[in-house]
Amino acid sequence: MTSARAAEHLSTPPTGRRRLILTMLRESGVPLGVVDIAERLDVHPNTVRFHLDALADAGQIERVHAAPTGPGRPPLVFRARPGMDLAGPRNYRLLAEILAGNLAGGPEPVARATEAGRAWGGLLADRTASPAAPTREQAVGELVRLLDDLGFAPEERAGERSGERAAGDGGQIGLRHCPFLELVSTQAKVICPLHLGLMQGAMAALGSPVTVDRLEPFAEPDLCLAHLAAARDTP
């Protein structure tokens, strides 16, 4: 099972018959087989197998072998996985609000947010693609892929409008979406520097000849602009 598919399973709590099966396994004192569950629900065993496979893929139940009662391989039975429900409700927005508020309420919030972003970007950058220092095109391409993975909907721009090319700088990257848009209205002073630091940290980790010099929030109603410039020896 791919990590993306597993994440999709974990983010979707079981409903309907699948929830009934999960509840049945949690309340049962012993593991149950496919036929046992099918008889209790009055459904076909193949229907039960379908839901059991989905619950097992989501990490909510586990397959075990029943105690042997004679010759041959013991049949598979199922039991709920011990521990908290992996498909329980999440509230990552609250966590983000707490962390952003902590940054905003402390000393030098902009500097701290930028530095936190740089550390984050340095960890996320893919430094395994090539042992050699990347070209501008390779580094910007890698940054665009990273931003796309994070949900920024990036698009590289040449930057002629502001004269970046004429000044020898690196152009622009447009960001069509903000993954933390709900927080920007109250915590923009740390969210935007966090994003700037993320891009700077990624480029530094890649050994890029260009960096993100500044981030222009909402340069257009539906677009933020990351301005690229030649990298310096010192941050």
The pLDDT profile of the chain, 235 residues, written as one tens digit per residue, is 444 444 444 445 566 899 899 999 999 989 999 999 999 999 999 999 999 999 998 888 999 988 776 676 778 899 998 877 666 777 888 999 999 999 999 999 999 999 999 999 999 987 665 667 889 999 999 999 999 999 999 999 875 444 444 444 569 999 999 999 999 989 999 999 999 999 999 999 999 999 999 999 999 999 999 999 998 754 4
Domain assignment present for residue 87? The answer is no
Question: What CATH number is given to the structural domain containing 15?
Answer: 1.10.10.10
Domain assignment present for residue 139? The answer is yes
Quick one: 218 and 141 in the same domain?
A: yes
User: Domain ends where: 37, 56, 80?
Assistant: 80
Quick one: 101 and 205 in the same domain?
A: yes
Quick one: 31 and 76 in the same domain?
A: yes
H or E, element range at 197: helix 181-206
Residue type at 175 in one-letter notation: L
Tell whether the torsion through CA atoms of 119, 123, 125 and 128 is positive or negative: positive
Beta strand pairing call for 171-175 and 223-230: antiparallel
Question: What CATH number is given to the structural domain containing 104?
Answer: 3.30.1380.20
Quick one: 113 and 193 in the same domain?
A: yes
Domain assignment present for residue 86? The answer is no
Quick one: 219 and 103 in the same domain?
A: yes
Domain assignment present for residue 210? The answer is yes
User: Domain ends where: 58, 80, 102?
Assistant: 80
Quick one: 179 and 141 in the same domain?
A: yes
* Residue 65 confidence (pLDDT): 86
What are residue 211's phi and psi, to 5 degrees?
A: -135, 180
* Residue 233 confidence (pLDDT): 57
The whole domain housing 197 covers 92-230
Domain count, the chain: 2
pTM listed for this prediction: 0.67
HEC sequence for 24-68: HHHHCCCCECHHHHHHHHCCCHHHHHHHHHHHHHCCCEEEEECCC
